[in-house]
Amino acid sequence: MAVACLYELVLTALGTGISLCCAFASRMILGDEGVPLFTNVVQIFCCIAVGLIIRFILSKQKVIKANQCSSQIKDHLRKELMAKMFDLGPAFTTGQRTGDIANTISSKVEWLSYYYTLYLPTVISALINAVILIGVLLQFDWLIALICCIACIGMIVCPMSFYHMMKERGNKEWEAHTAYYADCLDSIQGMTTLKAFNAN
């Protein structure tokens, strides 16, 4: 997961660098000679091209690492869940619908892996790059840096303000999905009994 975070951090930094190069190119085309690091537009376009190529290569590597991490997390969680079920014994399974248990082991673990392989790396890289970008912008224009800082704070606060509403809706969705999964599995398991009694 740390490797996935590192890839995401580099990809976000490359995206920021490409955006800055585009801004520098625009300034130079409009006649501004005070563009730092570059002497002509061709240099900027070459940097943009190299950045896009590196970003494409790293994106593929990040997907590979994220999938490997996801597989390891899912295998570990499912082994832990199965070990816990064996510890609880048959009495626990008799009091639960088979579909509920199967849904927890399959679907819920599947969705939980996305939290570690996609959500966390994106959030961590975004926070780190935001701090770096605001620090760089402070060297050029404190007002733009302040606006970016307020926007970053809003990106953190806004999702938290909707957390309780989304949590309630998420729980309802999971309950409905679990009930549907359990009903489907119970129906499939009951087909053997129905066929044994020659039911149509």
Amino acid at 7: Y
pLDDT confidence tier of residue 50, bands split at 50, 70 and 90: very high
Contact between 144 and 137 (Cβ < 8 Å) = yes
Distance (Å, rounded) from C-alpha 89 to C-alpha 94?
Answer: 9
pLDDT bucket at 99, cuts 50 / 70 / 90: low
114: left (phi over 0), alpha (psi -120 to 50) or beta: alpha
Residue 190 CA to its chain's centroid (Å): 39
Q: Which residues of 144-180 are buried (b: 16+ CB within 10 A; e: fewer)?
A: ebeebbeebeeeeeeeeeeeeeeeeeeeeeeeeebee
What are 11-35's pLDDT values in tens digits?
Answer: 888 888 888 888 888 888 887 766 7
95 or 156, higher pLDDT: 156
pLDDT at 48 over 80: yes
pTM: 0.62
